[in-house]
Structure 1
Amino acid sequence: MRKFILAWLLGCCVAGAATAADSDDLPAMKGSYTLADGRVLYVSYHQRTLYAQIDAGPEVALQPAGGAVWQSANGGLRITFQQYDNGVVSGVQLVARRE
């Protein structure tokens, strides 16, 4: 129960547009996304893997969780890329869970 109570959802504004139609287009998802609380989510792509980093925190590898949803291996960080029908990313939803 605590895990759900301690979960929070942060909205964001897009600092730059990106596109992602399929796995070959994953490098285009990289960019920086300003979160509602002022922190910045950086999404990078290297070695065929997406990574997330909040401000100067550690870089975390992301795994596909279905559709436009990506998450860390332990599920503590979950990012949903909000996309238009043409694949352009219009924003992200970040869910972080602390235990």
Structure 2
Amino acid sequence: MSFDPDQPYRLSEQVAVRPEPFGALLYHFGTRKLSFLKDKTLLRIVESLGSQPSAWVAVLAAGVEEDSVEQYLTAIRVLCDSKMVSPADEVMAQT
């Protein structure tokens, strides 16, 4: 599966988020992987993914400057590859 920033995404239902002063820790109960979100903007984006029509819109809604959008989309792509974040339709099919 390839990441498409124009599609909706959600935090996986098997992921717990623990906010930290630096950003957050994400723990996936299925894969037992731990991910670090190293800034609070990325945490806001990840938490808002399920309520936005696309990953791209979630990044812009968080107030990310145009020259940094690609950096945040890359972070979401990495989270998607590690199954921390899933396409919204895939999450809905699991329920």
> TM-score normalized by structure 2?
0.33
More helix per residue: 2
TM-score calculated relative to the size of structure 1: 0.32
Larger-Rg structure? 1
Higher relative contact order (CA 8 A, sep 6+): 2
